Amino acid sequence: MSKLHLVFGGRVADPRTLDFDDLRSIEVVGIFPDYASAEKAWRAAAQRTVDDAEMKYVVVHLHRLLEPDLLAKPEA
């Protein structure tokens, strides 16, 4: 399975949280096939808004959401 990653961001109420102010204004940067390309896109998006402390971009590991059983530790 591809290890898909989603990069998105928007204005947050508190920069220490992921509490986005307006979900309708979330910017979806894109979906990427690996972490390296997702991180590159995240850095570019974050750099565009570096002077705005209330803008936050994140990388979400979609492959972990699509197959959560792979994260479970095997029982001994």
Residue 2's pLDDT is what? 74
Confidence grade of residue 32 (pLDDT, cut at 50, 70, 90): very high
Q: What is the mean pLDDT of residues 1-20?
A: 90
What's this model's pTM, rounded to 2 decimal places? 0.81
Phi, psi of 70 (to 5 degrees): -70, -20
Confidence grade of residue 49 (pLDDT, cut at 50, 70, 90): very high
Give yes or no for residue 70 having a pLDDT over 80. Answer: no
Q: Which helix (H) or strand (E) holds 29?
A: strand 27-32
Distance CA 3, CA 18 (A): 23
Confidence grade of residue 73 (pLDDT, cut at 50, 70, 90): low
